Amino acid sequence: MFLFLFFLLILSCGIKAPPKPLPEPQFSVKRIGEVVYVSGQNIEVKNFKKLNEFWYKKEKSSFCFEVKHVKGKSKKVCVKESSGKPPELEIKELKEKVLLIPRESGTFRIYRVVKDKVLYPIPLKEFSKETEVQKDYEPYYIGVTKVLSQDYESEPLIIKISPKPKPVPKPPYSAGYTVKGKKLIIYWFHENYEELIGFNVYKNGKKLNETPLKRNYFEDELPKKETLYEITAVNRFGIESKPVKVFFHPVESQTP
C-alpha cells in the first residue's frame, strides 16, 4: 500500500526533463589592420562597438576578449597584433572606373569604408592581378587590404573613388502653344518622363517656375509683344537639358 501511494505521488509531481544546455555563441573574427571585427547573431562583445550587424574594436596590439551569446555561454578569443603596412598599388583613374594594379604579389581584397578606417567586413571583391572599381554618381571610399593569413589582413589602403559625370537629360521636343482667351498655353513632350523630376520654363531668359514642373504644359498671361519661351528637362541630379524653344508672335495669335 505504501509503495502504491509513493508511486501516485511521483506521478502527481511529474517527471522533469533534464535542462537544455546553454547555447554556444556562433561568430567569426577577422583582423583588418588595427581593427578587429566580430560578426554573428545573438552575441555581445564586451568593450567592442556595434555597427549594423557586426562589432569592432581598434587595437593594434595583441589582446583577448570574450564573445557571449545573449542567452547562453561565453567564449574567449585572442588575436595577434596588427600589421601596419598597407598594400602597394598603382591607381589609374578613368572616366567611368578606377584601375587597381598590384605592385607586389599576393591576394588582395576590396572593402567599402563605413567611417574613418572602419570597413564593412564583407569584401566586395578579391583579386591578385589588375582589377577595376566602377565609379558611381556620388563619391565613396574603399579600403584595399592584402591577405596575410586566414582572417588576418594588412592595414587597408584607403582610396577615394571620385564620382563619374552626371548624365545630361535629353531635351523636350515638339513644343508649341495655343491661345485661350487672354491665356497662352505652352506645351511640350519628352521621350522619357520617368528619368526626370520635372521641367523648367524660361520667358525671355527669366525662369518662371520656382521648382521643376511635374506637368508638360505651362499657362501664362497672353504677351503683347514677341516673346521667347524655352523649356528644359531636369533629371534627378538637378542637371538641365538643352532647351526647346517656342517663339510667340502676337500678330499670328490674333483672331478676326
Domain ranges of the chain: 89-161, 173-253
Q: How confident is the model at residue 245 (pLDDT cuts 50, 70, 90)?
A: very high
Within 8 A by CB and 6+ apart from 55, the residues are 37, 38, 39, 43, 45, 48, 49
The residue to which cell 523648367 is assigned: 200
- Mean of the pLDDT values across residues 33-56? 95
Position 1 scores a pLDDT of 54
* H/E stretch holding 230: strand 227-235
Whole-angstrom distance, CA of residue 191 vs CA of residue 139: 29
Q: How far is CA 188 from the centre of its chain?
A: 35
Q: How confident is the model over 207-225, as a mean pLDDT?
A: 96
pLDDT band, very low/low/confident/very high, at 182 (cuts 50, 70, 90): very high
Task: Give yes or no for residue 50 having a pLDDT over 90.
Answer: yes
Q: Cβ contacts of residue 186 below 8 Å, gap of 6+?
A: 175, 176, 177, 201, 217, 218, 219, 220, 229, 231, 246
Amino acid at 37: Y
What is the percentage of the chain residues whose pLDDT exceeds 70? 91
Q: What element of type H or E holds 45?
A: strand 43-45
- Are 149 and 129 contacting, i.e. CB atoms less than 8 angstroms apart? no
Identify which has the larger pLDDT, 21 or 91: 91
Tell me what pLDDT residue 12 has.
58
Beta partners for residue 235, in sequence order = 196
Say what the pLDDT of residue 181 is. 92
CB 65, CB 45: distance < 8 Å? yes
Q: Report the percent of the chain where pLDDT is more than 90.
A: 85
Q: What is the mean pLDDT of residues 82-87?
A: 88
The model's confidence at residue 21, banded by pLDDT at 50, 70 and 90, is confident
Q: Give 98-118 pLDDT, tens digit per residue.
A: 999 999 999 999 999 998 889
Q: State the SS3 of 96-161.
A: CEEEEEECCCCCEEEEEEEECCEECCCCCEEECCCEEEECCCCCEEEEEEEEEECCEECCCEEEEE
3-state helix, strand, coil in the chain (%, to 5): 5, 50, 45
Provide the pLDDT for residue 115.
87
* pLDDT value, residue 8: 53
Rounded to whole angstroms, the Cα distance separating 49 from 57 reads 6
- What is the C-alpha to C-alpha distance for residues 206 and 224, in angstroms, rounded to an integer? 17
pLDDT score, position 13 = 56
How is residue 81 written as a grid cell? 597584433
- Hunting for cell 547573431 — which residue is that? 41
Asked whether the domain spanning 173-253 has the same topology as the one spanning 89-161, the reply is yes
User: What pLDDT is stored for residue 250 in this prediction?
Assistant: 86
What is the dotted CATH code of the domain comprising 173-253? 2.60.40.10
Maximum separation of any 2 CA atoms in the chain, in Å:
124
**What is the value of pTM for the model shown?**
0.76
User: CATH code for 89-161?
Assistant: 2.60.40
Q: Residue 240 carries which DSSP code?
A: B
For residues 246 and 232, is the Cβ–Cβ distance under 8 A? Answer: no
Contact 201, 213 (CB under 8 A): yes
**What does the pLDDT read at residue 253?**
45
12 or 226, greater pLDDT: 226
